[in-house]
Amino acid sequence: MRRTGAALAALALAGAVLGAGSTTAAAAPETASRVTVCPTGWGSGTKGAVAAGAVPLENIRTGRHTCFDRLVFAVPGGGAIGYYVRYVDRLHQAGSGNHIPVGGGAVLEVRVAAPSYAPESGAPTYPGRVARPLPGVDIGGYNTFRDTRFAGSFEGETQIGLGVRARLPFRVTQLPDRLVVDVAHSWTSR
């Protein structure tokens, strides 16, 4: 019974491939160029990972991509970087509890296990100012990002608020010496 089902599936696939092959050569590239398939399944729930370390944050930058907007935390020499990312109703500064207003339809709180200062000297390594936009970050023209706010560093952790258009799916990726947060442009795959 399984072989029959597999054979039928193979025939259906072959028919679909043959049917697709009957399209004119001029129409195929035009259709392919208009359709962008974006990753799905990231979800909007809390994401986090534990990693010890006191290597300081050096920079935060952003980037625009076809399917998502990207926020990158540069922590040279940090290796695996701990993080905690979640949607919040309002951003409250760690330690003080002070409310920091963040523009946008939704607020993504990002905590990175890297202080914005050198632990041994206390000298700043990242020039962020509490409740101010991230220095050097221009999100004008971004599809998803609406606002950025530096919330400070507390107990070896840097906290920022990312204002986004709506509560959209996001993913967090650890790369050597970097932590990447991607927020999708939409919930659909196209």
Supply the pLDDT for residue 115.
Answer: 95
Supply the pLDDT for residue 176.
Answer: 84
| Strand, coil or helix: 138 | coil
Supply the pLDDT for residue 151.
Answer: 98
Supply the pLDDT for residue 71.
Answer: 98
* Best CA proximity match to 48, nearest among 167, 179, 185: 179
**Exposed / middle / buried, residue 167 (Cβ in 10 Å: 0-12, 13-18, 19+):** middle
* CA 190 from centroid of its chain's CA atoms: 18
Supply the pLDDT for residue 136.
Answer: 95
Q: Token pair for residue 109? A: 């709180």
pTM: 0.80
Phi, psi of 175 (to 5 degrees): -125, 165
Taking only the tens of pLDDT, the chain with its 190 residues reads 444 444 434 433 334 333 344 333 444 444 445 677 887 789 999 999 998 667 999 999 999 999 999 999 999 988 889 999 999 999 999 999 999 999 999 999 999 999 999 989 999 999 999 999 999 999 999 999 999 999 999 999 999 999 999 999 999 999 889 999 999 999 986 5
| Strands of the chain, DSSP E | 47-49, 59-64, 68-74, 83-88, 91-92, 99-100, 106-112, 145-154, 157-164, 170-175, 178-184
| Strand, coil or helix: 165 | coil
Phi, psi of 169 (to 5 degrees): -65, 150
